[in-house]
Structure 1
Amino acid sequence: MTETTAASTTGRAADRAPLRAWLAVLSLTGATFTITATEMLPVGLLTPMGGALGVSEGSAGLTVTLMGLTAAVAAPTLPLLAGRLDRRLLLAALMAVMAAANLLSALAPSLPVLLLARVAAGVAHGGVWALAASLAVRLVPAARVGRALSAVFAGIGTASVLAVPAGTMLGQALDWRAAFFGAAVATALVALALALALPPLPAERAVRPRELAGLRRNVPLRTGMLFLALLVVGHFAAYTYVRPFLEQVSGVAPGLIGVLLLGYGAAGIAGNFAAGTAASRTPRRVLLVLGTGMAATMASLALLGGHAPAAIVVLLLWGVFYGGVSVSSQAYVLAAASKTREAAGALFAAVFNASIALGALAGGRVADTAALPAVLWVGAALAATAVAVLALRPTVRSASGSGPDSGSGTRCADRSGSAGSPGHGDDVV
């Protein structure tokens, strides 16, 4: 089945049964929510986990780092191994693996067993990230792609808000293992929902190594990945240390930090939905706005951080801008590589997860050698560099020739204008 045929067929099905289509989208939202919650769950449980397993908090922190790095490797690898396997079955299987990994985490008698469970969870995490957005595009008509992507990526923002405090409270009320048991149950339910709600989703084509390697020749995609890497590294270099900054520089009481971080997460969810629809039409422009906003808010926080009220306002604005990055970046990727969506989605997931790990590492090195505001200046500088990279790249015409061309003389080879491609018209990528 060709891409155009598959996209038009699923588009007609979505028009006939919109409720079923949106239930399928919501099942994908459940998948992104639970994989993100699983990734972040140990953050609030490091102390009890370390105590129970007889290791330091730093050693327990490997449960976060190792899962992220595994996901970065798994994201481009799984689509290669999956061949033409039905993506509904693949997603349900990956979520079943995640459920088993969470169960093993809950039962782990030692740190090595727990780390093994987190590696398995990382494999599932990378696979789901690589597939979720490209499948969302196939579930709804082209006019609804922006909303579908916003809904799918809302799972990430919502889990970012709820996972750590919910896991921490459950761990305090019962035991840290109870939090992983809860995650295992939730993930198993999502696996069942995916199996029931998703329609058959045969692979549009088998992803081959040369297809992944060939993405490096896609100039808009390559530029977008560099933009994403710089922006995400900068964000996590700064955000990883926002709590000590608020406490030590802004003078915010420790008891209010959780409330502020919840507010930051809620602002991120709002930013996700605000950016989603616009990004489906002009993702490049939206990313330029978001990157500029992030650079400005990180720099403003470094300058105004000594005044708590101003710091709080700037923190919430930062959340709004960053909240739109995932959905807008994915819309850009799908527009730049509409004929190789799975391969491009795998690359997106790999770059995003690797950038998270690198950002946290870079921020730690800066925080160890300089004052805390330095991490914000580093983050702002990287975000500004990301904006410059994207802004200076000549705009590429769409396949219909309707977009502006700054003189590159190159059309985006992957823009087919087929149904389901996010974004049509001016300045797509």
Structure 2
Amino acid sequence: MGSAVPLLKAVGADRSAPSQWVAVGVLTLSTFLVVTSEMLPVGLLTPLADGLGISSGAAGASLTVTGLVSAVTALIVPRLLGDLDRRVVLAVAMGVLAVGNGLTVIAGGFGTLVVARIVLGVGMGAVWGMASAVATRLVAPRDTALAVSFAVSGVASASVLGVPAGTLVGNAVGWRAAFGALTALALILAAGLLLALPRLRRPAGATGDAAVGQRRSLARPAVITGLTVVVLLVTAHFAAYTYVRPVLESQAGLSANAIALLLLLYGAFGLAGNFIAGAAAGRRPRVTVLLLAAGIAVAVAVLALFGARALAAGLAIALWGVAYGGVSVAAQLWMTAAAPDRVEHITGLYVGVFTASIALGAFAGGLAVEGAGVVPLLWSTAGLAVAALLAGLVGPAPARARTATTARAEGF
């Protein structure tokens, strides 16, 4: 197969062929699987810990290991790619993910589990770090924002569908079988990526790092502003969302089943928010991100003020889902618009900062809950979301015109 550009010309520059959407679909399933692999220990924490003879806290710490390794990998991989075929790199990364899940299956203690999660983090960081940049090259220019929305939707749907499904498998036939299933699926998707994606070498117009001058530096005002917003917003979200169950239990007095339904509601609204925000951010990335920041701030504040009322808590959770569900894709499109000439590098940087902020938020939330309680935690995270909103308002915006069409048309 040829490069992505000839593939587009074969069907016309104004529309995407069905085969191109199949490629986007396989890429979306890949992001779905890597995040499901990362988060599945949440649903199987107790049996996994019991099976390995370790504490739940030690088992939970394995998620932090994966997140940190993923953050570093996402930063490094784009700088090492050169002219390698991105299709092959993604397939190899899925193979690495399969190895990580396979090591989890045979783990006999904490040491092996940590090694497994490190390997898994490498595969996850490579796939997630490249997915959005590759998605923009698989479709016609007018479909770029939608393709990115699909690729990122795999991340959101993993929490809604992947983790619950994996938990059901684990409960039925054992946690090792659940990770064994993920191993097999990763290998299938590795083959699917090789078959469905075209050959994708270095993006047209991109150059090696040694040739990158000041003009091409990523230290651009719009990039710095966007990353600042991401750090504040993602840290705020995960500081609060990590402890959403105790918040709903202590504030609204909800049962475990009611909380499960609310979290399902959150996930469904999150998927909707992903596509709504993707369509809006394709034209106005900064406005979209700032509206999402405002939505998160309002939702968390409503929980703090009126969380004792079940209806208010439900409405807040729904708003929170829509708002945060759109953050990944909208912020990604902000980054792409801010550095359209270095899409792979800016995507890797963005994913690295994003995943590091997840770890920071979970850690900070734990400190806040232990030191002050759930209500002060909610107010603190609402304040961080407002700070993200203000940072985005004060800082420079990315160029609108290049967000969804111009940069893709130029081959980036």
Q: Scaled by the length of structure 2, what TM-score is found?
A: 0.93
Offset, 1:167: 2.1
Corresponding residue number in structure 2 for 1:327: 329
Structure 2: distance between partners of 1:22 and 1:129 = 18
1:417 counterpart (381, 406, 412): 406
- CA pair 317-416 structure 1, distance change in 2 beyond 3 A: closer
Corresponding residue number in structure 1 for 2:8: 11
What is the letter of the counterpart of residue 408 of structure 2? Answer: A
Corresponding residue number in structure 2 for 1:208: 209
1:356-402: per-residue Cα shift (whole Å, max 9, x none)? 000000000000011211221111111110110011124465689xx
Offset, 1:9: 3.6
Structure 1: distance between partners of 2:78 and 2:407 = 22
1:344 counterpart (346, 350, 360): 346
Contact 2:338-2:399 within 8 A present in 1 as well: no
Offset, 1:36: 0.7
Structure 1: distance between partners of 2:273 and 2:398 = 27
Moved more, 336-345 or 76-85: 76-85
Does the alignment pair 1:51 with 2:53? Answer: no
Contact 2:226-2:334 within 8 A present in 1 as well: yes
Unaligned runs of 5+ in 2: none
1:399-418 correspondence to structure 2 within 5 Å: 417-418=406-407
Does the alignment pair 1:139 with 2:141? Answer: no
Contact 1:87-1:201 within 8 A present in 2 as well: yes
Corresponding residue number in structure 1 for 2:386: 384
Structure 1: distance between partners of 2:47 and 2:32 = 24
Matched residue count: 405
Corresponding residue number in structure 1 for 2:128: 129
Corresponding residue number in structure 1 for 2:70: 71
The DSSP-based 3-state class of the residue aligned with 2:406 is coil
Does the alignment pair 1:283 with 2:282? Answer: no
Corresponding residue number in structure 2 for 1:97: 96
Contact 1:27-1:194 within 8 A present in 2 as well: yes
Offset, 1:7: 6.9
Unaligned runs of 5+ in 1: 1-5, 401-413, 423-429
Offset, 1:40: 0.4
1:205-244 correspondence to structure 2 within 5 Å: 205=206, 208=209, 215-244=217-246
Structure 2: distance between partners of 1:228 and 1:340 = 19
Moved more, 179-188 or 20-29: 179-188
Does the alignment pair 1:109 with 2:108? Answer: yes
Structure 1: distance between partners of 2:213 and 2:72 = 13
Offset, 1:83: 2.0
Contact 1:235-1:359 within 8 A present in 2 as well: yes
Contact 2:222-2:396 within 8 A present in 1 as well: no
Structure 2: distance between partners of 1:271 and 1:397 = 23
1:103-124: per-residue Cα shift (whole Å, max 9, x none)? 1111112221111111011011
The DSSP-based 3-state class of the residue aligned with 1:202 is coil
Runs of 4+ in 1 over 3 A off after TM superposition: 6-11, 13-17, 209-216, 394-400, 414-422
The DSSP-based 3-state class of the residue aligned with 1:376 is helix
2:359 counterpart (357, 360, 364): 357
Corresponding residue number in structure 2 for 1:158: 157
What is the letter of the counterpart of residue 91 of structure 2? Answer: A
Structure 1: distance between partners of 2:45 and 2:240 = 21
Offset, 1:255: 2.1
Structure 2: distance between partners of 1:397 and 1:352 = 22
Structure 2: distance between partners of 1:223 and 1:158 = 28
- CA pair 159-395 structure 1, distance change in 2 beyond 3 A: closer
Corresponding residue number in structure 2 for 1:403: none
- Please give the root-mean-square deviation of Cα atoms over the aligned residues, in Å: 2.3
Structure 1: distance between partners of 2:376 and 2:322 = 22
Contact 1:33-1:159 within 8 A present in 2 as well: yes
Structure 1: distance between partners of 2:288 and 2:70 = 27
Corresponding residue number in structure 2 for 1:408: none
- CA pair 243-14 structure 1, distance change in 2 beyond 3 A: farther
What is the letter of the counterpart of residue 54 of structure 1? Answer: G
**Percentage of pairs with the same residue:** 43
1:206-239: per-residue Cα shift (whole Å, max 9, x none)? 6537859964521101110010010000000010
Contact 1:137-1:420 within 8 A present in 2 as well: no
